[in-house]
């Protein structure tokens, strides 16, 4: 391939590869942590019945005022403490660009969301991975010392491990001169959000997404919450890349979804109940299950092991995530589907394990 037109950085860039997006209707898709249920009916009926002719003819509100107001109300913050982007991936990218120092390393766990090293490369930030303990818990004290910032997902991905708020506060104190990002993509499935620490901590940025607990991964909507000076920084970066990032329809649909708090609570409750049931069923089959507060489970299957089981499930049209990476190559990450989908998974695992023993 002729790469002579590429900038020097581009050739070295190793892009993130998301989990397979297979489209077959017969597939039980438990590999990318999507929500198995349709989104809030308020949001869906707006899409089905809304009249968007004017909204589409005009440029969208560049400041997403209504959406930001709905988010602020939901989290008891001010509108000027909210920043919205096209999925939390975009919000993360702008945050890396805006807040992490080029002169000092960015700290994150050795097992974590694989987009972080990609952004480090993209923005020329030195990554320093901090090893998790053997049980995949995080030792806050390991994040002391010279740093240009910290980012951790809470709950962590793909482990599902959750760090309580007192330890997040400890992290914020350890690096009080640097921005600490808590990526709370999965927080609604049983964790307590760090948003209530925002007023006391000028270095805290909390990032959320509508892709998981709101069942709107296709809409691409994520947001950051923090004190005004951090949000102003993100706005400055955003306006230099794309001043109209959120399209008019997405703004309206996301606003309706955020306001439908009853649907949201009910959905999270269903996913949590299915997770608990699935953890027990997997343990009964001999899996070692890492206790999860997310909408997925990381679990180590018995013999013949993770890769063989992943391939055998795939043959049977069931997709789970297998990572060929250090420390987790013996595990599978299984997204929480509907009860029926999880029953199919368990039944098939049982058959495959029995046939191999
Ligand atoms: N953070 C974490 C920890 C994730 O697992 C994901 C989903 N892959 C994201 C952020 C990005 O989510 P989205 O861009 O869909 O908002």
Average pLDDT over residues 236-241: 92
Please determine, for residue 272, whether its predicted confidence score (pLDDT) is greater than 90: yes
pTM score: 0.96
Please tell me the predicted confidence (pLDDT) of residue 106.
98
- In short, whether 215's Cβ falls inside 6 Å of ligand 1 is no
Closest ligand 1 atom to Cα of 90:
14
pLDDT at 18: 77
Report yes or no: 118 and 16 within 8 Å, Cβ to Cβ.
yes
Q: Give the residue whose CA is nearest to atom 6 of ligand 1.
A: 185
Instruction: Provide the pLDDT for residue 20.
Output: 73
305 contacts: CB under 8 Å, gap ≥ 6: 330
Mean pLDDT of 264-291: 98
Over residues 114-132, mean pLDDT: 95
Pick the atom of ligand 1 nearest to 88's CA: 16
- Determine if ligand 1 sits within 6 Å of the CB of residue 185: yes
* Nearest CA, atom 2, ligand 1: 185
| C-alpha of residue 273 to centroid of ligand 1, in Å | 22
Q: Mapping DSSP to helix (H, G, I), strand (E, B) and coil, where does residue 259 land?
A: helix
Model confidence at 26: pLDDT above 90: no
> In whole numbers, what is the pLDDT of the chain averaged over residues?
96
User: Which of 19-23, 47-51, 281-285 is least confident?
Assistant: 19-23
Instruction: Give CATH 3.40.640.10 domain extents, the chain.
Output: 41-259
Tokens matching residue 310: 């992943």
Question: How would CATH label the architecture of 41-259?
Answer: 3-Layer(aba) Sandwich (3.40)
According to the model, what pLDDT value does residue 217 have?
Answer: 98
Residue 67 has pLDDT above 80, yes or no: yes
Q: What is the mean pLDDT of residues 119-130?
A: 95
* pLDDT, tens only, 87-106: 999 999 999 999 998 889 99
Which residue is listed with tokens 């898709």?
29
pLDDT band at 230 (very low <50, low <70, confident <90, very high): very high
What percent of the chain is modeled with pLDDT above 90? 89
More confident residue, 11 or 333: 333
Cα dihedral sign, 265-266-267-269: positive
What does the block give as tokens for 134? 């053997």
Treating both helix axes as pointing N-terminal to C-terminal, what angle do 306-315 and 339-356 enclose, rounded to 10 degrees? 120
pLDDT of 356: 82
Whether 211 is in the pocket of ligand 1, judged by its Cβ within 6 Å, is yes
Q: Over the stretch 280-329, which tens digit does the pLDDT of each residue have?
A: 999 999 999 999 999 999 999 999 999 999 999 999 999 999 999 989 99
What is the pLDDT, as a whole number, of residue 254?
Answer: 98
- Å from CA of 303 to ligand 1 middle: 31
Q: For residue range 155-190, what is the model confidence (pLDDT) as tens digits?
A: 999 999 999 999 999 999 999 999 999 999 999 999
What's domain 22-38+262-356's architecture? Alpha-Beta Complex (3.90)
The segment(s) of the chain belonging to CATH 3.90.1150.10 are 22-38+262-356
Residue 22 has pLDDT above 80, yes or no: no
88 lines ligand 1 (CB under 6 A): yes
H-helix segments, the chain: 8-12, 41-49, 53-57, 65-75, 87-99, 115-122, 165-174, 228-241, 248-259, 261-284, 306-315, 339-356
């Amino acid at each position: 391939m002729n790469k002579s037109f590429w900038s020097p950085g581009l050739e070295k860039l190793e892009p993130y590869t998301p989990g397979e997006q297979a489209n077959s209707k017969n597939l039980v898709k438990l590999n990318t942590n999507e929500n198995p249920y349709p989104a809030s009916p308020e949001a869906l009926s707006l899409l089905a019945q809304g009249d968007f002719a004017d909204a589409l003819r005009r440029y969208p509100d560049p400041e997403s005022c209504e959406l930001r107001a709905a988010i602020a109300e939901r989290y008891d913050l001010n509108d000027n403490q909210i920043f919205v982007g096209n999925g939390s991936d975009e919000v993360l990218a702008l945050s890396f660009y805006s807040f992490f120092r080029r002169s000092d390393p960015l700290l994150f766990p050795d097992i974590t969301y694989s987009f972080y090293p990609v952004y480090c490369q993209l923005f020329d930030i030195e990554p320093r991975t901090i090893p998790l303990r053997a049980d995949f818990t995080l030792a806050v004290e390991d994040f002391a010392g010279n740093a240009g910032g910290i980012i951790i997902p809470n709950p962590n991905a793909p482990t599902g491990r959750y760090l309580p708020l007192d330890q997040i506060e400890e992290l914020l104190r350890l690096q009080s001169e640097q921005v600490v990002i808590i990526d709370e993509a999965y927080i609604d499935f049983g964790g307590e959000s760090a948003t209530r620490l925002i007023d006391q901590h000028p270095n805290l940025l909390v990032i959320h997404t509508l892709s998981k607990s709101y069942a709107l991964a296709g809409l691409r909507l994520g947001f950051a919450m923090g004190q005004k000076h951090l949000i102003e920084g993100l706005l400055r970066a955003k306006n230099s890349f794309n001043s109209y990032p959120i399209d008019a329809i997405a703004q309206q649909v996301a606003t309706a979804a955020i306001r439908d708090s009853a649907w949201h609570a009910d959905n999270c409750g269903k996913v949590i109940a299915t997770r608990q049931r699935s953890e027990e069923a997997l343990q009964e089959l001999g899996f070692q299950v890492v206790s999860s507060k997310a909408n997925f489970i990381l679990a180590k299957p018995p013999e013949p092991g993770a890769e063989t089981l992943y391939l055998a499930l795939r043959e049977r049209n069931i997709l789970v995530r297998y990572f060929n990476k250090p420390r987790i190559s013996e595990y599978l990450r299984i997204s929480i589907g509907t009860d029926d989908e999880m029953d199919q998974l368990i039944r098939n695992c049982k058959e495959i394990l029995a046939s191999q023993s």
